[in-house]
């Protein structure tokens, strides 16, 4: 019995020593090297001036910006403050920094200060809206003027921009985008309106859409539309805009609509839809297949067609790429082997069709 007790004592002592050693290790591990922030962009405040308020602007630059003199397209995102939607959309831009699936772009987040005022059109009964929202509606025209006269000029003076501009936003910001497309379409080249609040003022913009598009200024523009599971006047308002585009789509206004009512709701739609919209605007061409023998049975790389072989003498760019779907490539992969194609990842639109990627030469 003493021997057994002695063994327990020895084992207990060993356990105490092991525990002390572990604690010492934990103590050592608890002193990490100096921490450094993970940086996805920079923010600066435009001062109050000319009747405009002080406003925070956040910017994400592609790594290649610092490596040369190239000019870049700009994506302006609404509700783009550092505490708003900028970080997660900047995550999409950062992902592109390492996977190169889109043309590089400058992301500019424009902070909303009083969004229910700044982003909203006028209303027939502003007092009711003010009571409900806690903000007087109807500030969209003034905010649009600030974008045109102050924010865009500042960005163009501060950074190397190509002149190709995109505007993206969700919910009330997307309503602002629809109104901008209808009232001042030359302000941007591409627009992405994600679950726009088209219920506003009894879907007034939806009712006005057909007349607007019937008498629309010329110019090449793209409009990406999508909506989640919203229903009621929100969906009905968008349906009216889509019907107007189907009936009176102006020459040069390319549009698409992706129905997400069975896959996303208002709180979940922005990030996946923003990724899809940016892919539509910036997807880049590439060659299909791979010359790596290990990918193929018995190491036999499929033969290229004569057309594919001849295309190797040309650059694989927007001018030479053939736009094709993943389904078409997968139906006959040997035919498409090594061809230069433009294929947008993500869902195909339910209505309309955008030309994908930047226009040739941009």
pLDDT mean for each 10 residues of the chain (362 residues): 36 50 56 85 96 97 94 98 97 95 97 96 94 93 98 98 98 98 98 98 97 95 98 97 94 97 97 98 93 89 89 91 94 92 95 92 76
pLDDT score for 247: 93
pLDDT at position 349: 97
Question: Cα separation of 145 and 142, whole Å?
Answer: 5
pLDDT value of position 362: 78
Quick one: which H or E segment has residue 241? Answer: helix 232-248
Q: Could you tell me whether strands 42-46 and 55-60 are parallel, antiparallel, or unpaired per DSSP bridges?
A: antiparallel
Alpha-carbon span 110 to 115, nearest angstrom:
11
Tokens of 33: 């090297």
The pLDDT score that the predictor gives to residue 269 is 98
Q: Please give the pLDDT value at position 6.
A: 36
Distance CA 152, CA 189 (A): 13
What count of other Cβ atoms lies within 10 Å of the Cβ of residue 85? 23
Q: What is the CATH number of domain 42-282?
A: 3.40.50.1820
Query: Domain residue spans in the chain?
Result: 42-282, 286-343
302: three-class secondary structure by DSSP:
coil
Is residue 355 within 8 Å of residue 254, measured between CB atoms?
yes
State residue 13's pLDDT score: 46
Distance CA 72, CA 156 (A): 10
């Amino acid at each position: 019995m003493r021997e057994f007790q002695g063994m327990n004592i020895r084992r207990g002592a060993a356990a105490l020593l092991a525990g002390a050693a572990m604690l010492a290790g934990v103590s050592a591990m608890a002193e990490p090297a100096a921490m450094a922030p993970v940086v996805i962009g920079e923010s600066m405040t435009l001062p109050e001036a000319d009747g405009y308020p002080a406003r925070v602007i956040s910017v994400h630059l592609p790594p290649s910006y610092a490596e040369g003199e190239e000019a870049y397209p700009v994506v302006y995102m609404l509700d783009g403050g550092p505490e708003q939607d900028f970080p997660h959309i900047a995550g999409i831009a950062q992902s592109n920094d390492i996977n190169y699936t889109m043309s590089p772009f400058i992301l500019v987040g424009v902070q909303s200060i009083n969004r229910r005022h700044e982003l909203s059109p006028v209303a027939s009964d502003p007092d009711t809206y003010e009571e409900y929202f806690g903000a007087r509606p109807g500030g969209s025209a003034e905010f649009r003027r600030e974008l045109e006269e102050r924010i865009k000029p500042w960005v163009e003076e501060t950074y190397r921009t190509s002149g190709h501009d995109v505007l993206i936003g969700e919910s009330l910001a997307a309503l602002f985008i629809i109104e901008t497309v209808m009232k001042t379409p030359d302000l941007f080249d591409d627009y992405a309106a994600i679950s726009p609040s088209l219920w506003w003022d009894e879907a007034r913009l939806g009712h006005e859409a057909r007349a607007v598009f019937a008498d629309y200024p010329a110019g090449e523009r793209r409009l990406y539309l999508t909506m989640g599971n919203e229903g009621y006047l929100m969906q009905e308002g968008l349906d009216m805009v889509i019907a107007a585009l189907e009936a009176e789509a102006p020459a040069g206004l390319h549009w698409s609509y992706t129905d997400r009512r069975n896959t996303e709701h208002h709180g979940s739609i922005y990030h996946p839809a923003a990724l899809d919209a940016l892919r539509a605007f910036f997807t880049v061409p590439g060659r299909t297949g791979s010359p790596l023998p290990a990918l193929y049975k018995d190491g036999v790389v499929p033969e290229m067609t004569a057309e594919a072989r001849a295309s190797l003498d040309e650059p694989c760019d927007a001018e030479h790429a053939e736009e094709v779907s993943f389904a078409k490539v997968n139906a006959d992969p040997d035919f498409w082997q090594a061809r230069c194609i433009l294929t947008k990842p993500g869902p195909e639109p339910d209505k309309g069709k955008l030309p994908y990627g930047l226009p040739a030469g941009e």
